[in-house]
Amino acid sequence: MTVRVALVLSLIALCAVSAAAQVQTQTHNAQAVTKPPVANTQTPVAAQPQAPAATPVAVPAGQARVHDIRPGPGVTAVKMLSSYAPSLANTAGDTQVYILEGKEPGGTVFVAGGTHGNEIAGIMASIVLVEHARPQKGRLIVIPHANNSAITDVDPERPGPKTIALTTPSGERQFLYGSRRTKATDQGAPDPPKYLHPNPKSTEELPGTEARNLNRAYPGVANGTLTQRIAWGIMQLLKAEHVTVAFDFHEAGPDSRLAWMVVANPKNLETAAAAVLELESLGLTMKLEPSSETFRGLSHREWGDETPAQTYLFETPSPSMVNDTKGVDFVNDPKLPLSKRVGGQLASFMAVIAAYNADAPAGAVVTLADVPAMKDVEKTGVGSFLR
């Protein structure tokens, strides 16, 4: 057994012990595990039972927000999420899907930014991929604004600026800063008194507003609320495009246990552990945790359970994820600048891709060029990698 393999197996064992000892909480993307992780595999897990669809929800008509995203040389097609889920057409939840296809065949990688509209490092890391990355083998599919309704709203708990400004080679550009949840007037139904995911394994009773949290809604409902329709659309994309590796980019509070964390579906925990070790060698310490069995509706859990894809979620610490945001510099915080957080997201992304490629069949390898290195993003800023 090589030293590296031994380290990976030790890290997985530590994850299992740590997760088993956790007390399940209801914070942000809290995860806990109730069963030991299994070996990395690409075999689909049987879909978890879901409650039957209720009476179709009358979601209000709306227009999808169009953002200042400038496709780079790697982009080969742009479509709307409604092409996978027609019930999203003419709603505020429809959103742009960017496809970057390499010249050689390979696997398909999916990235979602903007699940929560106030977690800007994930959004900006996604936009950097659209504007800068070039696949050589395989495909990269990116949705920078997974919840395109949330990005148009103000978070009542942690209000922020309407936009953030970044200096780019073409001048100053503005990017929207939004809310954690779908805009209430877009949802099509009032918030329930309490929210409990319909999966019978779910044990988490959450505030009713969490019905508008996209990362509590998977696998979604085709004719449900707007949040459920968005979740359904992303799930249909994963299936239709035969995605092999999927990522959800997030942020957490600076003092949250989730800060600097990789959350992985148990079936691909070994790959995640290898990536975490590689990141450590680069000077970035990321914690690792497996998806919970009983906290349902989260991307890494439901995507991985219902499709063959390996699934991951990243959490970087944002200075804006605090109770009082007055006086907070969302971009140039001295301890946690946006450049450090975006660099961490991209480094984690590339480390997982490298670990995935190490075990992938030759025809499923994904090779990406021009993804900025963490040290370069920190040195020159996020804007220098935008068009």
154 in Cβ contact with 120 (< 8 Å): no
Instruction: Give the count of alpha carbons within 13 A of 368, CB side only.
Output: 29
- By CB neighbour count within 10 A (0-12 exposed, 13-18 middle, 19+ buried), where does 5 fall? exposed
Given a cut of 80, is residue 31 above it in pLDDT?
no
Dump pLDDT digits (tens) for 338-377.
999 999 999 999 999 999 999 999 999 999 999 999 999 9
Instruction: Give the count of alpha carbons within 13 A of 105, CB side only.
Output: 5
222 in Cβ contact with 85 (< 8 Å): yes
Confidence label for 265 from pLDDT (cuts 50, 70 and 90): very high
pLDDT at 206: 97
pLDDT at 19: 53
Dump pLDDT digits (tens) for 268-303.
999 999 999 999 999 999 999 999 999 999 999 999
pLDDT at 44: 41
Confidence label for 246 from pLDDT (cuts 50, 70 and 90): very high
Other Cβ atoms closer than 10 A to 333:
17
Among 349, 353, 350, which residue's Cα sits nearest to residue 364?
353
Confidence label for 32 from pLDDT (cuts 50, 70 and 90): very low
Dump pLDDT digits (tens) for 35-79.
223 333 344 444 444 444 568 999 999 999 999 999 999 999 999
Which residue is it, tokens 């960017």? 98
CATH level 3 topology of 3-385: Aminopeptidase (3.40.630)
pLDDT at 132: 98
Confidence label for 323 from pLDDT (cuts 50, 70 and 90): confident
Given a cut of 50, is residue 235 above it in pLDDT?
yes
Among 384, 235, 232, which residue's Cα sits nearest to residue 307?
235
Mean pLDDT for 91-99 is 98
Given a cut of 80, is residue 12 above it in pLDDT?
no
Dump pLDDT digits (tens) for 214-226.
999 999 999 999 9
Question: Which pTM does this prediction carry?
Answer: 0.90
Mean pLDDT for the chain?
90
Q: Where are the domains of the chain?
A: 3-385
pLDDT at 326: 87
